[in-house]
Amino acid sequence: MLEIKNLQKAYLGRDGRTATQALGGVSFEVEEGAFFTLLGPSGCGKTTMLQCIAGLETPDSGTIRMGDQVVFSSSDRVLVPANKRELGMVFQSYAIWPHMTVFENVAFPLLHGPRRSSGSDVKKEVARALEMVQLGHVSDRPAPMLSGGQQQRVALARALVHRPRVLLLDEPLSNLDAKLRDSMRNEIRSLVKTVGITTIFVTHDQTEAVGMSDQIMLMRAGSIVQKGGPRDIYLRPNSVFAADFMGRSNLVAGRVLDEGARIRIETPFGPLAAETDAELRKGDEAVAVIRPQAVSLVTREASATLENCFAGQILSLTFLGDVVETEVQVMGQKLVLMLNPYDLHTRGDEIFLHMPAERCVIVPAEKAA
């Protein structure tokens, strides 16, 4: 549905000469009907990418294709204006017009867009869009009299009312409180899947990305770090950056002891067997990624027969309700675990940690910047 090829975009500095590379030759494809997320820290290029797709920014080079139509091509000198790309967009600030009612806000694309509708069609399509977001009962209400969550749904209805071929979401949940954000996350995912519309979502929040996406593209400094399903990227990160950005991780530095898809790395607490997708050689510096949830506790007797078992001492426990965040020292190396709140432990206890090799991933060490 959406194809991006070698897209590049740079911004000139105040001196008019020094260029900052926002996108460095990015290429990817999005299948029709997919919920695709651009994820990364501030300044990684994800919003620039979204604006290039929307037609709000003009890339320096590359190609953007939507279905059978090329909407931008530097080589063929094609540039389709934003208002002719048949897109729907929801901004971080909602961009709801305060002097209009809910109905008037949602009807705006039908009355002033490239494909203007008749009065009867406008009423029908607005009613359909408001019904999708469960706001049909407030169509005559002034937009400022709605809650934050309702305003967000009005913005969604307005983006969907003219049946766009792609929906663009630019951090639409960042202005909501935590509880409402969780609720809207589920609502948006359910809505776009029901409609079946291809969706490009920009966020810096890995929880939102994992909970909503079919595919995630993790970005850093204008380039793609890793692309895949939420489960794959979380459980099998391909770099220290991906492991650290996608959630809490224990990152243990060491040196590779052997080669293959399943290898061992020498760590401060002894050899650790783990899996890897990287091409690592014996003697290479590497990092073992161990998620806090990957570690289980076993008895002293079981630890003597299992691979990747190590004795540790509890340094601290923090009760968080659904889990107990536990800091453990293992032969001078501090690890963080998430333990069951029903299991009783105290500071100073000796425990035995089992780290299954299939739950541990070894990635190349990253050089300091």
HEC string for the chain = CEEEEEEEEEEECCCCCCEEEEEEEEEEEECCCCEEEEECCCCCCHHHHHHHHHCCCCCCEEEEEECCEEEEECCCCEECCHHHCCEEEECCCCCCCCCCEHHHHHHHHHHHCCCCCCHHHHHHHHHHHHHHCCCHHHCCCEHHHCCHHHHHHHHHHHHHCCCCCEEEEECCCCCCCHHHHHHHHHHHHHHHHHHCCEEEEEECCHHHHHHHCCEEEEEECCEEEEEECHHHHHHCCCCHHHHHHCCCCEEEEEEECCCCCEEEEEECCEEEEEECCCCCCCCCEEEEEECHHHCEEECHHHHCCCCCEEEEEEEEEEECCCCEEEEEEECCEEEEEEECCCCCCCCCCEEEEECCHHHEEEEECCCCC
pLDDT value at position 12? 84
pLDDT value at position 320? 94
Q: What is the pLDDT along the chain (369 residues), one digit of tens a residue?
A: 899 999 999 998 777 777 789 999 999 999 999 999 999 999 999 999 999 999 999 999 999 999 999 999 999 999 999 989 999 999 877 788 889 999 999 999 888 776 777 777 898 999 999 998 888 899 999 988 888 888 888 999 999 998 899 999 998 888 777 777 888 888 889 888 988 999 999 999 999 999 999 999 999 999 999 999 999 999 999 999 999 999 999 999 999 999 888 899 999 999 999 999 999 999 999 999 999 999 999 999 999 999 999 999 999 999 999 999 999 999 989 999 999 999 999 999 999 999 999 999 999 998 643
pLDDT value at position 32? 94
pTM of the model: 0.89
Please name each of the domains of the chain with its CATH number: 2-235 (3.40.50.300), 240-364 (2.40.50.140)
